Amino acid sequence: MELKSVIGIYEDFPKQGISFKDINSLIADPMAFKQAIDEMTKVAKALDASLIAIPESRGYIFGAPIAYQLGAGLVPVRKPGKLPGEVVSEEYDLEYGSNTIEIQKKLIKPGDRIVLVDDLLATGGTMMAAVKLIEKLGGQIAGLITLIELTELGGRELLKDYFIHSLVTYQY
């Protein structure tokens, strides 16, 4: 199946100038969802990681079935204030303002090999911040897997030191 055929496009959502890629029709379609997970799992398996890191919240949808299939553990990458216990934080710039993400310290040990899984690679800001968090804790990035990549937005260039696999590309 051509996965693009089940991804919706909404112009000017959530704001003017954004061509929003809606993955909800894909994940609601059992055949399309299975195909996406199977392709991503195959790549993740080759990267030989023991943990799958998943940015909140759409990364969870793809990362959780992959981790289940591989027998790997899951490490949520969350917005501030959601995680109890000791956390490490990373702030990164947005077009207007900034965001912060956090990981629990206890979940990553030095030397752990980790694959990052998300729905979308655009500017790469969130992914790069997640990479930095994982490396702060001594984790090794085995690679990045995304369903969609927006090729004109610079994410691959920003993350050029890392292996990246995306299933579907759009320019922006």
Return residues touching a second copy (CB under 8 A): 8, 10, 13-14, 20, 22, 24-25, 27-30, 33-34, 37, 50-51, 54, 56-58, 60-62, 64-65, 67-69, 71-76, 81-85, 104, 106-107
Can you tell me which residue has the tokens 């310290």?
105
Please say which residue, 62 or 115, places its beta carbon nearer to a second copy.
Answer: 62
Active site positions, annotated: 58, 95
Q: CB 116 → a second copy: shortest distance, Å?
A: 15
Determine the 3-state secondary structure of 129 from DSSP: helix
Q: CB 80 → a second copy: shortest distance, Å?
A: 11
Q: Which two tokens stand for residue 117?
A: 């899984």
Please say which residue, 46 or 82, places its beta carbon nearer to a second copy.
Answer: 82
Q: What is the DSSP string of 20-43?
A: EEETHHHHTSHHHHHHHHHHHHHH
| Rounded Cα–Cα distance for residues 106 and 49 (Å) | 17
Kindly give the pairing relationship between strand 98-104 and strand 87-93: antiparallel
Please say which residue, 158 or 167, places its beta carbon nearer to a second copy.
Answer: 167
